[in-house]
Homo-oligomer: A and B are copies of this chain.
Amino acid sequence: MKPLETIKIGIIGAGRIGMLHARNIATQSEGTELCSISDVFPEAAQRAADLCGVKDTTTDYSRILENPEISAVLICSSTDTHAQIIEDAAQAGKNIFCEKPIDLDLQRVKRVIGIVNKSGVKFQVGFNRRFDPNFAKLKEHLSNDKIGHTHILKITSRDPAPPPLDYVKRSGGLFVDMTIHDFDMARFLSGSEVNEVYAAGDAVIDRRVGDLGDIDTALVMLKFENGVLSTIDNSRQAVYGYDQRVEVFGEKGMLQAQNTLSDTVEVSTAQTVEKAKPHYFFLERYQDSYVAEIRAFIKAIHDDTEPVVGGNDGLMSLQIGLAAQKSLAENRPVRLNEVTG
């Protein structure tokens, strides 16, 4: 295998997720070189640069876009800046990996996708869970027709602890902030598009979330074009840890992806038999998926193929999220085409 040409990368946004990608690129993505990191807070950029042995930092992301050596950028800044940076990066001819969501406004997302498509750059959206080895294995079984046609698809997705209220305020609401990952997973696993959404939910963990007009517990039912019926259940607070499971039931059997546990030790005593709790949160649970999604992005650039998760995936999941919001507000099933942004 001859070594591939090194892809030079800039990271825009050095918060928690930007830092995560920076480290993964520095240590686990062969064929890449992390060249520059930008953040509106210079010390954030500097800290990431120090940790990853990167020389160049900036507070102005356009300096990264102007750097002719850099062929790909990772957009890890705050959600409200995504759309603009994507457009700028596309116009600068950079291949783009962007964290979800692209934007909270459906029309804006469509415009962004239009610009990206015209530019011809690669565009991948950060639905990392598709790259989780367990969900990827489950999808592989589906692709191999292990259980035939899918009849019922169930996704459990619960965070270990609620985010700060300040975060909730700016999040766009549970369905577009948290459930959006599950909507993408449901599309990924069903291999189809949603026709109709029915959503229920409430703020039962923290009443102040309700005062902000949001919910922290939800049940969503999805009907897919190919007949698959799906439920998603969400909670902002699973006290036993990050609960991320999928069950697919079909004509020839069932597939279940269980939680990953922090260790394999079982303790039997006079009182009880205990095993380890699930991994606490996404950094532990999904660490392999973050590495894998960047590798897939790099591979798409190298091979000049379409990224496996693109702009349309970002768009569709947002649209389902908005339909779920409408369904909750009006307590009725909402067809996807009722939500046009």
Q: How many copies does the complex hold?
A: 4
Q: Which of A50, A204, A237 has the most CB of B within 10 A?
A: A204
The segment from A10-18, A54-62, A144-152 found at the interface with B is: A144-152
Interchain nearest-CB distance for A101 vs B (Å): 25
Interchain nearest-CB distance for A330 vs B (Å): 10
Task: Say whether, besides A227-B202, A266-B256, A233 and B154 are in contact (CB < 8 Å).
Answer: yes
Assembled-state Cα–Cα distance A255/B273 (Å): 10
Give the number of chain A interface residues (Cβ < 8 Å): 70
User: Are A255 and B266 in contact, with the CB atoms below 8 A?
Assistant: yes
Interchain nearest-CB distance for A70 vs B (Å): 20
Is A257 an interface residue when CB atoms closer than 8 A count as contact? yes
For A269, the chain B residues whose CB sits under 8 A away are 146-147, 239-240, 252-253
Task: Say whether, besides A151-B204, A229-B217, A267 and B198 are in contact (CB < 8 Å).
Answer: no
User: Are A221 and B223 in contact, with the CB atoms below 8 A?
Assistant: no
A-B contact pairs, 11 of them (CB 8 A): A134-B263, A146-B269, A151-B217, A200-B221, A217-B229, A231-B233, A237-B251, A238-B254, A268-B278, A274-B274, A332-B332
For the complex of A and B, the 4 pairs showing the least CB-CB separation, nearest first, are: A240-B268, A253-B269, A27-B27, A239-B270
- Residue positions of A touching B, CB distance < 8 A: 3, 26-28, 50, 133-134, 137-138, 141, 146-147, 149, 151-152, 154, 158, 198, 200-202, 204-205, 217-219, 221, 223, 227, 229-231, 233, 235, 237-241, 243, 249, 251-260, 262-270, 272-278, 331-333
